[in-house]
Structure 1
């Protein structure tokens, strides 16, 4: 029976033979086993093909995630470089301010800065390739930027205090014209208008109509207010331990002794009192109790 030959014919729906197979009984016995092996192999390949496609999809997703991560790290690195450059500019600016304000630290004269400007050289490489060393370096750079920022905040507070103190000092320097008028007599030796002899003129004379406002040349305190035969109605303003100003021949005053005044504040009015031939303001500047040329101080 196993050696007998068998014939298998496949017909179409119309009765036409399509395929005829001829085999002995032994071959037919192994045919189901062959079909089973083929079916199992086909299933095995299908499963592995599906797993391979899932792995390829997962690999593509990982590569895309890595690309985005590398791009983000590149942007963060560039931003960190800009932060460092900004700190460099702040440190440099504050150093120059401290030198100008005479409050410089020991290393400021040499302008030795803690950081130096960075550029984008090498940033075209993907930072993600650097691994943990790159992130450790970024962390150290961020800590350094934080430390520099805190230090500069402290230094800026010192700069603010120094500016406030120096502005207060500048406000006590008599730099404005005390009244509107024309120069009629300079500082120094001149012929006395009363007796024609040589006499030292301690200030300058500004000719102006009676009643023209006279203003304080700087912040200070009215330290003396009096009437004398030579100066007439006179005011003395003490601005600091070094500087004081005197306003003489006034017609009347607008302040009292001991009053604090500000630069530009009206303290009196031009007159013709005391040893004077015509309405004018006699204006003096004293430095360490010695008269100096007021025109060396006037900036306008």
Structure 2
């Protein structure tokens, strides 16, 4: 009995029979050859699958890289815009600080405290730093030149502090200048009436009682009814009759300054009225102890009579 052949040794016949009378194609192969063909097909399948997967992966990686590149480009553009704005703000803050300095000098006022700027004061004709220059001045955490959020944050903090200090200085300047304006408007600096000075400030002979006395004001002779004007802003603290001065008006100008108007024919204001410099408050007369129609005009500082001529800054 013949030995049974193994599966690997068997041969298999493949026939391809065409229609009609064509030649029949015949091929005998062993099982080993079939296994080799199938193995090759499987290997090709895995190679092809790996190649397709690799191509897909690299395509995805390229797309992601391109997206990151575009995002970086957008970020760089936004960074440049931000640095340009910061540069402009820095220039404006420095310009405001310089304007405050000039304002203090022009108004002759000083404020306490010293401002710390974020850089040198930008003078006329000097352009603001560019975004590239500002970026180069910002240190990275590693010490390399370039863009740094920490450096930018510090710059913005400095500018914020400087801007607040400038605002505080402007507020102080306003208050000081406003106070000066009020003071200057309160100083009795105009003539109370128009006429002829018949008696000045200081020692003189008494016109009625005789003897020598200290004249605490000036006498201005003028016709009856000549207008009397407030010589500075203030509040009327007295309007009535006083022995010797007759009809009298006293105005408190603040800052320890008061003015007195005596021998009035008429008083047009009453106690508590607020008057402005140049406002009509009465008329010239000869009430009280007077030898003729005139105005007795007196200025006191902290209760002490002073020469009114020291404060009058206009010509008669």
One fold, TM greater than 0.5? yes
How far is the alpha carbon of 1:121 from its aligned partner? 5.1
How far is the alpha carbon of 1:60 from its aligned partner? 1.2
Q: For 2:57 and 2:17, how far apart are their aligned partners in 1? A: 38
SS of residue in 1 equivalent to 2:132: coil
Residue 149 (structure 2) pairs with residue 135 (structure 1): yes
Task: Specify which of 74, 79, 83 is matched with residue 68 of structure 1.
Answer: 74
Q: For 2:191 and 2:258, how far apart are their aligned partners in 1? A: 15
How far is the alpha carbon of 1:103 from its aligned partner? 2.4
Name the counterpart of 1:102. Answer: 109
Name the counterpart of 1:262. Answer: 275
Task: Specify which of 147, 150, 167 is matched with residue 181 of structure 2.
Answer: 167
List per-residue Cα deviations over 1:177-210 (Å, max 9, x = no partner): 757xxx5547999xxxxxxxxxxx9476777x94
Gaps of 5+ in 1: 190-200
Let me know the Cα RMSD of the aligned residues: 5.0
Check 1:187–1:36 CA distance in 2 against 1; reply closer, same or farther (3 A cut): farther
- Residues paired across the two proteins, number: 272
Check 1:281–1:64 CA distance in 2 against 1; reply closer, same or farther (3 A cut): farther
SS of residue in 2 equivalent to 1:296: coil
Task: Specify which of 214, 231, 234 is matched with residue 219 of structure 1.
Answer: 234
Check 1:297–1:10 CA distance in 2 against 1; reply closer, same or farther (3 A cut): farther
Q: For 1:86 and 1:15, how far apart are their aligned partners in 2? A: 98
Q: Given that residues 236 and 245 in structure 1 are in contact (C-alpha distance below 8 angstroms), is that contact kept between their aligned partners in structure 2?
A: yes
Q: Given that residues 217 and 263 in structure 1 are in contact (C-alpha distance below 8 angstroms), is that contact kept between their aligned partners in structure 2?
A: yes
Q: For 1:275 and 1:160, how far apart are their aligned partners in 2? A: 49
Q: For 1:289 and 1:16, how far apart are their aligned partners in 2? A: 149
Q: Given that residues 206 and 282 in structure 1 are in contact (C-alpha distance below 8 angstroms), is that contact kept between their aligned partners in structure 2?
A: no
List per-residue Cα deviations over 1:141-194 (Å, max 9, x = no partner): 122223323433443443344234323322312356757xxx5547999xxxxx
5 Å matches for 1:120-269?
Answer: 120=130, 122=132, 134-175=148-189, 183=194, 185=196, 202=218, 210=225, 214-215=229-230, 217-222=232-237, 226=241, 233-239=247-253, 244-247=258-261, 250-256=264-270, 259=272, 261-264=274-277, 268-269=281-282
Q: For 1:8 and 1:123, how far apart are their aligned partners in 2? A: 84
Task: Specify which of 47, 68, 82 is matched with residue 53 of structure 2.
Answer: 47
Q: Given that residues 100 and 169 in structure 2 are in contact (C-alpha distance below 8 angstroms), is that contact kept between their aligned partners in structure 1?
A: yes
Task: Specify which of 53, 57, 61 is matched with residue 63 of structure 2.
Answer: 57
How far is the alpha carbon of 1:64 from its aligned partner? 1.7
Answer with 61-70 or 93-102: which moved more.
Answer: 93-102
